Amino acid sequence: MNGLREDGHLTDLALEYALDGAPLDATRAHLDTCGVCRARLEAARDIELPAMPELAAPTAPVLQTPEPANRPWMWAVWLAAAAVAALVAVPLLRPADDGLRVKGAGLSLQVYRDEGETSARLKDGDPIAPGDRLGFRVRNRDAGYLMVLGIDSADAPYLCYPQHGGGSAEEVGESPRPRPLPEAIRMDDTPGTERIVAVLCEGPFDFETMADAVSEDDLPAGCTMDGLTLEKR
């Protein structure tokens, strides 16, 4: 890798190598002579990294952080616990004493509100507030393609999960126990009803197609849905 832009300065990626103490060969001479890039290096070093809480032990309950954690890290802790459990093949989630709804379709969506050190599971009709951070757990008896969508009070759909898939549903294996999804959403300021649904289909689909289908309550064949409605005040 060369690491130099057309104008001769370091690319942002090359800057990272330099910050790591291993500048790319082609950038060494430039760094010796360029005041601009040396100033960039100094500025980059000043960035403040938020604290990271200790990771949960493999046997810790998924939905409670073992240590007081900065609020935004709640979800990372959950996911880390789930990942560790998966690696050691130890069932992490407690058996079905958690009040899950079991629907004939074999898909169940749980929505949780991050409340700092803990989280609260939301039920249909529960109030939420602007700025609330919501996370999800999904149980699906069948493998397929999964997406979680929201529809706001103006009937505008938005994607809740997967946010990393470029608008495509995520292929998932069967999950007989609820598993936490690794992405959360934060509520905006607009008051009104928010409908949140999980959709599982036998085949791939995208956000635009499914948003229309959910809005019109016209789910394609081979798809199942579960969801709830929240009141944003």
Partner 1 sequence: MTTAAPTLDLSALYKEHGRLVLRRIRRFYRAEQAPDVLHEVFARAIEKADTYRGEASPIAWLYGLTTRHCLARLRDERRRRELLEEVGEVPWTCPITEPTTEARVFLAELWRRVDPELAQIGVYYYLDGMSQADIGELLGVTGRTVSNRLQQLSDLARDAAGGSP
**Binding residues for partner 1 (CB under 8 A):** 1-7, 9-13, 15-17, 19-20, 22, 36-37, 39-41, 43-44, 47, 49-50, 52, 54-55, 70, 72-73, 75-76, 79-80, 83, 86-89, 156, 158-159, 163-167, 182-184, 186, 188, 207
CA 52 to chain centre: 17
Minimum Å distance from CB 24 to partner 1? 9
Using the minimum distance from each CB to partner 1, give the nearer residue, 59 or 102: 59
The residue type found at 54 is: E
Using the minimum distance from each CB to partner 1, give the nearer residue, 90 or 102: 90
SS3 category, 125? coil
| CA torsion through residues 196, 114, 61, 180, sign | positive
Using the minimum distance from each CB to partner 1, give the nearer residue, 17 or 100: 17
| Cβ-based neighbour number of residue 44 at 10 Å | 13
State the Cα angle at 128 between 157 and 112, rounded to 5°.
Answer: 85
Minimum Å distance from CB 184 to partner 1? 8
Using the minimum distance from each CB to partner 1, give the nearer residue, 55 or 200: 55
Minimum Å distance from CB 150 to partner 1? 9
DSSP states of 40-74:
HHHHHHTPPPPP-PPPPPTTS-TTS-SS---GGGH
